[in-house]
Amino acid sequence: MTGTNPLLDEAELRQMTTEQAMIAGAEADGVHVVHRRDQFPVPGSRAEKRAERAVASLFVLSALAGVAFIVVFVAVPYSYKTPGHSQNFRFYTPLLGILMGLMLTLLGIGAILWAKSLMTEEELVQDRHDVPEDGPEQVMTGATLVSGVYDTGLPRRSLIVRSLGLAGGAVATVPLVILVGGLLKKPGKTLDHTLFAPNPDFPGGIPIVYSDGRRVSPNDLQPGGIATVFPGVRGGVHGPRSASSPTLLIRLRPGQGKLVKARKGQADWNWQDFVAFSKICTHAGCPASLYESQTTRLLCPCHQSQFEVLEDAKPVFGPATRSLPKLKLDVEVVDGAQYFVAPQDYQEPIGPGFWERS
């Protein structure tokens, strides 16, 4: 405090009214009361009573809303029922919301109204004292800091400085090593393979199945039909590694099959008019599965990348840069019925790009 208002002694203060002492305190804090007025100088006036009643009734209403909240909370049914049964559960949460909202909002409005209409009106000016004018303080504190450094002898003892730096570095690094070391997992070639990778249990190729485990037969799909299929191995449909395997099997409409412009070396990866692509978008990994069976475009719903299926799912619009990886299809015959198998894994990493990917 800069002492613009020299502190009065205790005896003087005790002689003051509460208000005077308060103002004295404010002055001591650099806060100057420029205006202070009771909003209702005449006590018990009609206007004052009206203002008081307004605040009080808000508080009472708030309390009533609280009581109603408790009643609703306890008494109203809230259990979900399917359509066809009573849908009354739908009133539970809204009722709670209205009542809780009323309880809190009315209390809040009451408090503000109280402050605005009943509390003593004030206008104060506070000195900031934020210009660093304490030159001596700065000098003394600075000297203390610098002399401390000299007391330790650090400027002269470079050996200690350096060795301490080493120790500090070690102490700072070890927790980091513990944290990262514990969390780190080697990616290796994980991202390059899916569960369609060759598996000794299935010498004829990985069976291709639906989400319910049924095997996929060429007869299943109508022309223009699609199916989300999975590798028929353990954990292929559900499992920690199944995120990379979802595959979109497409049966082109007749006539479309001839138009396929396959990428180099992938021309025979179709099976008749069936093609299969990874469902995982090469942009950000969403399942790109909005297939337009007439225009043969495949759209990803997350960022609107569009792939042309007839050109081996080449990206034709949007932010995706790479074609959807294609899965080679083959058919094996079991008990006279034909079923799809994947004779080999995807030949490139599925999903979004990453640094190690060429």
Partner 1 sequence: MNEPSEHGPRKDVMDEDVDALGFDPAVSATGADVESLAEPKPRPRKKRPAWRRRLSGALVLMVALGGVGGAYTLFATSSGANDTTTSQADIDAGRQLFNTACITCHGANLQGVHDRGPALIGVGSASVYFQVSTGRMPAAGQAAVEPRKEPKFTEQQIDQLGAYVESIGGGPALPQGSLKVDDKELAEGGELFRLNCAACHGSTGKGAPLSAGKSAPSLRDATDKQILAAMLSGPENMPAFSDNQLTPQQKKAILNYVQKLEASKDPGGNGLDRIGPVSEGLVIWILGIGAMMVVILWIGAKT
Partner 2 sequence: MTTTQTPTRRSGKPRTIAGKSGVWIEERFRIAKPTRGLLNKVFPDHWSFMMGEIALYSFIVLLLTGTYLSFFFDASMGDVVYNGSYVPLRGVEMSRAYASTLHISFDVRGGLIIRQIHHWAALLFVAAMLIHMLRIFFTGAFRKPREVNWLIGLTLLVLGVVEGFAGYSLPDDLLSGTGLRIADAIILSIPLVGTWTSFLVFGGEFPGTEIVGRLYIVHVLLIPAILAALIGLHLAIMIRQKHTDFPGPGKTESTVTGIRFYPTFSAKATGFFFIVFGLLAALGGLAQINPIWLFGPYNPAQVSSGSQPDWYMAMLDGSTRLFPSWETRLWGHTVPALFWPTVVLPGVLIGLAAAYPFLEAKLTRDRARHNLLQRPRDVPVRTSLGAMALTFCFVLFVSGGNDLIAKAFDISLNAMTWGGRIATLVLPPLAYVVTYRICLGLQRHDREVLEHGVETGIIKRLPTGEFIEVHQPLGPVDEHGHGVLPYAGSAVPKRMNKLGTGQLTHVRGFFYPVKEKPEIAEKLAALEERERAESERHAELTD
Which residues of this chain interact with partner 1, rule CB under 8 A? Answer: 78, 80, 82-84, 87, 89-90, 92-94, 97, 112, 116-117, 209-215, 217-228, 250, 253-255, 287, 289-295, 297, 299, 301, 304, 306, 317, 334-335, 337, 339
Which of partner 1, partner 2, none is residue 32 near (CB under 5 to 8 Å by kind)?
partner 2
Strand partners, 309: none
Nearer to partner 2, 152 or 321 (CB): 321
CA angle 231, 233, 238 (to 5 degrees): 75
The answer to whether residues 279 and 287 touch, using CB atoms and an 8 Å cutoff, is yes
The answer to whether residues 273 and 310 touch, using CB atoms and an 8 Å cutoff, is no
With contacts defined by CB under 8 A, how many residues of the chain interact with partner 2? 119
Record the tokens describing residue 303, joined without a space: 């960022």
Which one of 112-120, 218-226, 257-265, 338-346 is the stretch in contact with partner 2 (CB under 8 A)?
A: 112-120
Site map 60..79 versus partner 2, x via CB under 8 A: -------------x----xx
Applying CB under 8 A, which of residues 46, 238, 258, 264 lies at the interface with partner 2?
A: 238
Q: How far apart are CA 190 and CA 356, in angstroms?
A: 12
Strand partners, 314: 308
Q: State in angstroms the smallest separation of the CB of 276 from partner 2.
A: 14
Which parts of 141-170 interact with partner 2 (CB under 8 A)?
none
Which one of 155-163, 259-267, 269-277, 310-318 is the stretch in contact with partner 2 (CB under 8 A)?
A: 310-318
Asked whether position 125 contacts partner 2 by CB under 8 A, the answer is: yes
Asked whether position 313 contacts partner 2 by CB under 8 A, the answer is: no
Burial class (CB in 10 A: 0-12, 13-18, 19+), 124: exposed
Q: How far apart are CA 74 and CA 60, in angstroms?
A: 21
Q: State in angstroms the smallest separation of the CB of 228 from partner 1.
A: 6
- Name the phi and psi angles at 162, rounded to 5: -70, -45
**What is the dihedral sign for C-alpha 194, 197, 199, 203?**
positive
Gyration radius of the chain's alpha carbons: 39
Site map 18..57 versus partner 2, x via CB under 8 A: xxxxxx-xx-xx-xxxxxxxx-xx-x--------------
